[in-house]
Amino acid sequence: MALTMAEASKLSNDVLLRGVVETIVQESPVLQMLPFIEVVGNGLTYVQENTLPTAQFYDVGDTWAESTPTFTQVTATLRILGGDADIDNFLRTTRSNIQDLESAVVQLKAKALRMQFEDTFINGDTALNPKAFDGIDKLTPAGQTVSMGPNGGTLTLDKLDELIDKVRGGKPHLLLMSRRSRRKLTALARAAGSGLIVADRNQFGQMVEFYDGIPIAVNDFIPDNKTVGTATDCSTIYALQVGEGAVMGLTAPGGLTVERVGSLESKDATRIRVKWYVALAVFNTLKVSKIVGVRD
């Protein structure tokens, strides 16, 4: 069974852990929607569907042509994401009447964890950092990539619709883009007067914009300065489905954990460790697509 982090946190009685998960999830549109599979072991080997078999009509006596789907065997290895938070005992004792110092320090560590995950979710590349996992930019194949041109180009609604149509088996569950791209999309929809963009509240009470019924999410780690041809001011927009047979997170049993390491020998402080054994899997390459070369 796959659960989002928000749902999994409801099963925990650890108040500190639930606080960490809520801090991470509330500020991350990806983690609000992305379900996770618990993996027993250090990774998961799965078969990734690439192309479907074909079928055709025949006359009596025709020779039948054989057609089979194609697959790729992929292994996603769990990676260790985390950090230590030290709470000074003197400050905790003397300032506890003003603010819960432990909660404040751990929440900041949780935000750092969320930011690192969101960065890796987009830009992760094991060729550059073998300690991390591959992100969706690397996992999206060339056949699922829409180009704005050899030197990039200004976003159009037609190109965005082409991106959406690249995702098969239903509409994407999420459109991921930079803040600049979101502003451009909003301006395009406003100029068209089509009413394609509407706003509504999500389960966390946050206002979310929808394009043609698809949630629009901003990721601050999608750069606006990529090089495409001669242009150096390009960005990327991603469309993806999440869930079984699509894009899913992988996690060790128990998911994200908060471990109280205890008192330190070298200084008068107590250490709390926030850690997560995590990875990303794309079970079907037709469930993710991207536009490259999006200029302002």
pLDDT tens, residue by residue, 214-248: 999 999 999 999 999 999 999 999 999 999 889 99
Q: Is pLDDT larger for residue 9 or for residue 22?
A: 22
Query: So what's the pLDDT on residue 142?
Result: 92
Domains of the chain by residue range: 3-52+70-134+245-282, 143-241+286-295
Task: Give yes or no for a contact between 6 and 38, defined as CB atoms under 8 angstroms apart.
Answer: no
98 pLDDT above the threshold of 60: no
Give the model's pLDDT for residue 1.
Answer: 47
> Is the confidence at residue 15, as pLDDT, over 70?
no
> Between 137 and 105, where is the model more confident?
137
Please give the residue that has the higher pLDDT: either 92 or 237.
237
- Among 3-7, 168-172, 245-249, name the one with the lowest average pLDDT: 3-7
Contact at 8 Å (CB) between 289 and 146? yes
Sign of CA pseudo-dihedral 12, 241, 244, 77: negative
Yes or no: say if 161 and 175 are a contact pair by the CB < 8 Å rule: no
For residues 41-56, average pLDDT: 83
The residue among 292, 250, 265, 41 whose CA lies nearest residue 133 is: 250
The per-residue pLDDT for 103 is 77
Evaluate whether 75 touches 44 at the Cβ level (below 8 Å): yes
Work out the pLDDT band at 6, boundaries 50, 70, 90. Answer: low
| Per-residue model confidence (pLDDT) at position 253 | 87
Looking at CATH, the fold of the domain delimited by 143-241+286-295 is given as: capsid protein of prophage fold (3.30.1930)
Mean pLDDT score of the chain: 86
pLDDT of residue 16: 56
CA angle 40, 41, 45 (to 5 degrees): 95
For residues 166-196, b (16+ Cβ closer than 10 Å) or e, as one string?
bbeeeebbbbbbbebbbebbeebbeeeeeeb
| DSSP H or E segment with residue 233 | strand 231-240
Q: Determine what percent of the chain is predicted with pLDDT higher than 70.
A: 89
Q: Provide the pLDDT for residue 260.
A: 86
On the question of pLDDT at 11 being above 50, the answer is no
Whether pLDDT at 17 is above 70: no
Cβ-count burial of 262 within 10 angstroms (0-12 exposed, 13-18 middle, 19+ buried)? exposed
More confident: 72 or 135: 135
Q: Of 5-19, 91-105, 278-292, where does mean pLDDT reach its minimum? A: 5-19
Burial class (CB in 10 A: 0-12, 13-18, 19+), 15: exposed
CA distance linking residue 219 with residue 226, whole number of Å: 15
Per-residue pLDDT, 97: 58
Nearest residue to 101 via CA among 92, 109, 110, 93: 92
Give, in words, the CATH class of 3-52+70-134+245-282.
alpha beta
Domain 3-52+70-134+245-282 matches domain 143-241+286-295 at the CATH topology level = no
pLDDT at 12 over 80: no
- Indicate the pTM of the whole model: 0.84
Phi, psi of 252 (to 5 degrees): -70, 160
User: What is the model's pLDDT at position 4?
Assistant: 60
Range 21-28 average pLDDT: 70
Residue written as token pair 């089979």: 68
